[in-house]
Chain A
Amino acid sequence: MKKMLIAMLFILCATGTCADAQTGDLTAIFPDIQNLPKYGEPLVYSPDSLYEYINGAAEIYLQYDFRELVAQEYENADGAFATIEIYHHGSALNAFGIYSQELPFEESNFLNIGAQGYYENSILNFFKGPYYVKLNSYGLDEKEHTILTALATEVAGKLEGTTELPKELAYFPASGKVPHSEQYLAQDVLGYAFLHTAFVTKYVINEQEFQLFLITGDSPQACATMLKDYAAEVGADPASIVEGAIMFDDAYHGTVELRWQGRYVWGVKGLEEPQDRTNVLDQMEKFRFFDISRD
């Protein structure tokens, strides 16, 4: 994004009504704001041109099936300005994925906007359905939080899509989980190109940091392929990979213990004690996600 912006806006529709959002015309979402007029026409970017707007950062957006960005800038005579950016990522899962890539790593003010959002340092981001929405503001001082929240709420109300978090997040045990550490990785899971489509979550128990992950393959065969490639990578015999418990001695990650059933692979890395690994994997297994047929 070329312009780092300022000033926030309160949402008032000039005519008293704003067009409801249509999936095909996101520009209708942007409201008129009192004392902060729109600056220029809406900006529209495709997968080919997203780089134009956010340069190298575009690459990671493209990993999450980025379809289109529509953005509107606002600026007033005092030089205050702001931006609303709406990224269309094709699915609620991918919207969560890119949202999770940019979550704050410190405690922030998480908000019940869309499926989830947060406010931090003149920024308010949220996701809803296939949309990842980013608002930047500057200059409203003590009113900034209130106004950003109101604006985000209005924009969220106009966007179509689910407000549910991915159901897979519920399959991670609560005990020891680092709040808001869940991410969905579309590719390069654990630093391997052959591992993809995984939820990963950080944990701290008894000062031990470790990570749980849940790979959701399109099919059992997809999981088999991933695991066999992983086996080959770590020098294990791919032919030995069958459903059930699997343990790899990974040169980069240490001992990685996994379990595979159907189109799900769940695993842990960072725990040295075998019993500790068994315990956390057993806890995941209690959710019986592998018994649930695919929607």
Chain B
Amino acid sequence: MKHQNTKNGCNRRKFLAGSLAGIGSLGAIGALHQEAAADTQTSEADRPEGELLYRALGRTGLKLPIVSMGVMNASNPEVVEESYKLGVRMFDTAWYYQRGRNEKMLGDVISKLGVRDEVVIATKVLLDMSRMDAERGKAKFLQQFDQSLQRLQTDYVDILYLHDVDNVAQIANPGLYEAFTQLKDEGKIKFCGVSTHSNTLAILGEMLKKTDFWDVALVAYNLAMADDEQLLAAYKQAADAGLGLVVMKTQAGANWWRAQYQSNQAMRGQLNHAAMLKWTLKHPFFATAIPGYTTFEHMQEDFSVAYSLDYSPEEQQFLNDKAVASALGFCRQCSRCVPSCPQGVDVPTLMRTAMYAYQYQNMEHAYATYQTVAANQNLSQCQSCAICTAICANSVPIAQKIGALQELNLA
């Protein structure tokens, strides 16, 4: 069977974030909306202990606890309800999740609690508007959003995203802008944005051309993407331009990690998700994160981060752990593996290629990196070996990554 070729001619993989467990404590819950008059720019370091950390969401005027809830995988309304009681004030869902049951569940909980005016609801319309004309695109967009309002049992949402944008053509349809504008004029949405997991640089670049239109971007970032300086710079630029950044996939690929390394005792260990969430949120341009927890235990652990970004000794140890770095697949580019390859393959550059392809989900960069490899040192040489024998001094699974690269159409 054939695999779908992406728009860039290469297959891609994406790894999902998981969520984790922990313990939190109740603290004072402040107002969502920033005071217009007084400047309360108290630094996070000066914040009284036991109080939640809040950040402004771009130019929206919203101030949110730095940990929100990604509702998408939750099936138990009690988890949503307890999240509110714990202090969560933004709930992220989407039209597509569980075919509407996710929005319905959220709407039921918010209605039951009677707290619509106290929370921020974000949802998403899923349409490939690059394949529609403006009129049809707008009509479908509005139709889908109307369903969301009914499910959510509200007459407005705070943030509406176009879901899963990975191509600038998807946000070029005039109908999209007409739809968003109409919804704002009607008071059915307050802010508009885009959610994106890949080709983020291009998408953000396009959004920054219309800073008077776009309010929020839902983007991915985690520890496994630490070396992507270009992406970090783009996020900072976007935040500096006033775009509110909500961050997802902060607890990088738990399922992927388990699947890949479960049989490798040398690399087994537990991902410390609170540590990873803190690490991501230490980047101040992210206003809030939306971990997709599904249990009470994970809810407690994730929301505990909203009180402090200081690492515990255990969390610090986790982040420093070589095994963790290996499990996340960081190649240190030390080149000590090179002599262990009988074919003279440029293993370090192939590892960087794999990093861009699978951890950063940046196929353009992966492809460009692969092109720098000499023909007599690229994947074509790997075909000579039945089994990859290259060895990494830092336990990066070279053979596994070579195998993953071979599934891509990089030639």
Q: Is the interface of B mostly helix, strand, loop or mixed?
A: loop
Question: B256: which of A42, A48, A52 is its contact (CB, 8 Å)?
Answer: A48
B273 contacts chain A at the CB level, 8 A cutoff: no
B12 contacts chain A at the CB level, 8 A cutoff: yes
Q: Residues of B contacting A62 with CB < 8 Å?
A: 16, 255
A288 contacts chain B at the CB level, 8 A cutoff: no
Q: Residues of B contacting A187 with CB < 8 Å?
A: 294
B14 touches A2 (CB 8 A): no
A44 touches B78 (CB 8 A): no
- With A4-B140, A41-B2, A79-B136 already in contact, the answer to whether A59 and B72 are too (CB < 8 A) is yes
A247 contacts chain B at the CB level, 8 A cutoff: no
- With A52-B12, A57-B97, A252-B78 already in contact, the answer to whether A3 and B131 are too (CB < 8 A) is yes
Binds B, one of A99-107, A217-225, A273-281: A99-107
- With A1-B126, A52-B13 already in contact, the answer to whether A185 and B72 are too (CB < 8 A) is no
- With A4-B144, A48-B256, A102-B98 already in contact, the answer to whether A60 and B126 are too (CB < 8 A) is no
A49 touches B295 (CB 8 A): no
B296 touches A105 (CB 8 A): no
A101 touches B13 (CB 8 A): no
- Report the separation of the CA atoms of residues A109 and B33 in the bound assembly, to the nearest whole angstrom: 44
- Report the separation of the CA atoms of residues A27 and B255 in the bound assembly, to the nearest whole angstrom: 28
A25 contacts chain B at the CB level, 8 A cutoff: yes
B82 touches A60 (CB 8 A): no
- With A51-B16, A188-B75, A191-B294 already in contact, the answer to whether A105 and B100 are too (CB < 8 A) is yes
Q: How far is the CB of B142 from chain A (nearest CB, A)?
A: 13
Q: Residues of A contacting B100 with CB < 8 Å?
A: 104-105
Q: Residues of B contacting A2 with CB < 8 Å?
A: 128, 164
State the interface size on chain B (CB cutoff 8 A). 51
Q: Which of A42-85 contact B (CB under 8 A)?
A: 42-45, 47-49, 51-60, 62, 70, 79, 81
29 residue pairs of the A-B complex, CB under 8 angstroms, read: A1-B96, A1-B126, A4-B126, A4-B127, A43-B4, A45-B3, A48-B256, A49-B11, A52-B4, A52-B12, A54-B96, A55-B14, A55-B197, A56-B70, A56-B292, A57-B97, A59-B72, A70-B1, A79-B136, A101-B75, A103-B99, A185-B75, A190-B78, A191-B76, A191-B294, A191-B296, A192-B296, A193-B295, A252-B82
A: which residues have CB within 8 A of B? 1-4, 25, 27, 41-45, 47-49, 51-60, 62, 70, 79, 81, 101-105, 121, 123, 125, 183, 185, 187-188, 190-193, 252-253
